[in-house]
């Protein structure tokens, strides 16, 4: 099974726009309005002079991270400089995934993640480990595993090898990524992955136990997306992941935190009440929170760049306000730093043909209103 970004296909249009806007504006205070005002989409020199996001971690206790390609893969030294200037945490967007780290059975390739560990060490950053067990980005030999015993052996070797190698060099591990997909129509909303087919839901418990055995100290996370909105999809995802988190607690599975991916859709309406209740339940089960992949999809937002940037910033502010009203996440990470390099531009297209602007810096690496929102909350 191949990742094809298909789960995002068919997302609807903005729905009841006046209601949505009223809800957003009702929640945004004066300070927020100032931080997210519509500014011309060009360098704001006052903004550029403010202290970096990484410098705020000391006071707030919340580290800022961003994803990106390994320096040996994406040779964009200016972007790398900006990442080093802004972030405490660097997340390999692809190169810790199984298809790269173990492309053939027991043949490991760590060139990409090693270059990130070096880069991080040179800049006083730390790598976030993404990800060990996923339905996607697996090599063909994994997709063709046939028996439970083979799947178990593969997990034992892979997790043991990768986690041991980076022991002490990782901020947290996304041990299991995206185990829920209600659209797959399996019981309990479990995703129809190779792991689920061969091992059942026990594969989640197994993966965490293997990771804990290989690294007793690093926080281990389960990472998921899609809980934020008033949609039926968000509603079933909240219920399904909560039931799984409860089940894992009942089994004493060694999980420390829950990663809220936070790929947000700017045109949708947050379900503040249900999202708050959901987050309280997660925290009540003893999971720490991390925001792991924040970005804001503006494919359905009409208007010029300044209008869109302001809408993106307001949307993220409303979200952070909800999450932080429940608990302080250990880290807030965005899935990329600059609009010049974002998966969203590949996977989503606007009707006007303009590229998406989902991240804190624009394609020229200048800070945007979304950066100001992060600076306010981190
Ligand atoms: O493997 C080929 C490589 O051989 C070729 O040189 C290159 C040329 O473009 O393409 C490579 O594959 C790409 C791969 O990333 C590695 O760069 C795929 O086409 C591309 O679809 C793949 O996309 C990544 C995707 O995960 C699948 O791994 C995105 O960049 C990455 O942003 C996305 O990240 C996911 C998180 O892991 C989990 N949460 C959702 C998030 C966004 O979808």
CATH number of the domain at 334, please: 3.20.20.80
Cβ neighbors of 249 (< 8 A, separation 6 or more) are 285, 286
CB-ligand 1 contact for 24 (6 Å cutoff): no
- Any domain includes 75: yes
String of DSSP letters for 279-294: HHHHHHTT-EEEEEEE
Nearest CA to ligand 1 atom 13: 94
- Residues of the chain falling short of pLDDT 70: 1-42
Closest ligand 1 atom, residue 131 Cα: 37
Q: 137 in ligand 1 pocket by Cβ < 6 Å?
A: yes
Atom of ligand 1 nearest to the CA of 3: 27
Kindly report the pTM of this predicted structure: 0.90
Residue 67 lies in a domain: yes
Q: Is 269 in the pocket of ligand 1 (CB under 6 A)?
A: no
pLDDT at 20: 29
Q: How far is the CA of 94 from the centre of ligand 1 (A)?
A: 6
In a mutational test of the pocket of ligand 1, which residue from 132, 177, 343 has the highest number of ligand atoms less than 8 Å from its CB?
Answer: 343
Residue 261 CA: which ligand 1 atom is closest? 39
Q: What are phi and psi of 319, to 5 degrees?
A: -65, -50
Any atom of ligand 1 within 6 Å of the Cβ of 94:
yes
Distance 361 CA to ligand 1 centre (A): 21
Is residue 1 one of the residues assigned to a domain?
Answer: no
Q: Is 241 exposed, middle or buried (0-12, 13-18, 19+ CB in 10 A)?
A: buried
| Atom 10 in ligand 1: residue holding the nearest Cα | 94
Residue 103 exposed, middle or buried by CB count within 10 Å (0-12, 13-18, 19+): middle
CB-CB contact of 101 with 64 (8 Å): no
pLDDT at residue 74 in the model: 72
pLDDT number for residue 31: 40
> How many domains in the chain?
1
Ligand 1: which of 67, 94, 97, 259 to mutate, judged by most atoms within 8 Å of the beta carbon? 94
DSSP type of residue 187:
G
Q: What confidence score (pLDDT) does residue 39 get?
A: 44
pLDDT at 58 (0 to 100): 83
Give me the pLDDT at residue 376, please.
Answer: 96
Predicted confidence at residue 42, as pLDDT, reads 60
Judge whether 143 lies within some domain.
yes
Q: Whose CA is nearest to atom 28 of ligand 1?
A: 137
3 Cβ closer than 6 Å to some ligand 1 atom: yes
173, part of any domain:
yes
237 lies in a domain?
Answer: yes
Helices (H) and strands (E) in the chain, counts: 16, 9
Give a yes or no: residue 128 inside a domain. Answer: yes
pLDDT tens, position by position, 171-205: 999 999 999 999 999 999 999 999 999 999 999 99
Predicted pLDDT of residue 200: 98
Has residue 7 been placed in a domain? no
Give the model's pLDDT for residue 45: 84
Show the domain range for 357.
14-377
Q: What is the pLDDT of residues 206-233, one digit of tens each?
A: 999 999 999 999 999 999 999 999 999 9
Q: How far apart are CA 301 and CA 350, in angstroms?
A: 9
Give the model's pLDDT for residue 44.
81
Which residue puts its alpha carbon closest to atom 34 of ligand 1? 93
CB 177 within 8 A of CB 134: yes
């Amino acid at each position: 099974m191949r990742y094809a970004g298909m789960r995002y296909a068919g997302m609807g249009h903005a729905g009841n726009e006046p209601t949505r806007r009223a809800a957003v504006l009702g929640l945004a205070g004066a300070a927020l309005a100032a931080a997210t005002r519509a500014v011309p989409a060009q360098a704001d020199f006052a903004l550029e002079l403010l202290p970096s996001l990484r410098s705020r971690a000391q006071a707030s206790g919340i580290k800022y991270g961003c994803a990106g390609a390994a320096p040996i893969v994406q040779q964009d030294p200016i972007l790398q400089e900006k990442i080093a200037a802004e972030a405490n945490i660097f997340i390999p967007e692809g190169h810790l995934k199984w298809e790269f780290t173990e492309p053939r059975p027991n043949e490991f390739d760590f060139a990409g993640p090693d270059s990130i560990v070096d880069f991080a060490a040179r800049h006083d950053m730390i790598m976030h480990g993404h990800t060990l067990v996923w339905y996607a980005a697996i090599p063909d030999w994994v997709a063709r595993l046939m028996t439970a015993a083979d799947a178990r052996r593969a997990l034992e070797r892979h997790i043991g090898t990768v986690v041991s190698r980076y022991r002490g060099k990782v901020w947290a591990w996304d041990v299991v990524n995206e185990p829920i997909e209600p659209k797959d129509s399996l019981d309990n909303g479990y995703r129809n992955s190779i792991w689920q087919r061969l091992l059942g839901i026990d594969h989640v418990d197994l993966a965490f136990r293997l990771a804990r055995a290989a690294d007793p100290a690093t926080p281990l996370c389960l990472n998921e997306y899609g809980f934020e909105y008033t949609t039926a999809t968000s509603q079933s995802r909240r219920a399904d992941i909560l039931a799984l988190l409860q089940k894992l607690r009942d089994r004493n599975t060694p999980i420390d935190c829950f990663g809220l991916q936070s790929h947000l859709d700017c045109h949708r309406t947050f379900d503040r009440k249900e999202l708050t209740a959901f987050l309280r339940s997660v925290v009540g089960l003893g999971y720490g929170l991390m925001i792991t992949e924040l970005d804001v999809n503006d494919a359905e937002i009409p208007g010029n760049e300044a209008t869109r940037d302001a809408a993106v910033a307001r949307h993220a502010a409303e979200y952070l306000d909800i999450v932080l009203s429940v608990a302080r996440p250990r880290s807030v990470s965005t899935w990329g730093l600059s609009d010049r390099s974002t998966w969203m531009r590949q996977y989503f297209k606007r009707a006007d043909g303009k590229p998406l602007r989902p991240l804190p810096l624009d394609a020229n690496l200048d800070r945007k209103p979304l950066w100001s929102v992060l600076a306010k909350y981190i």
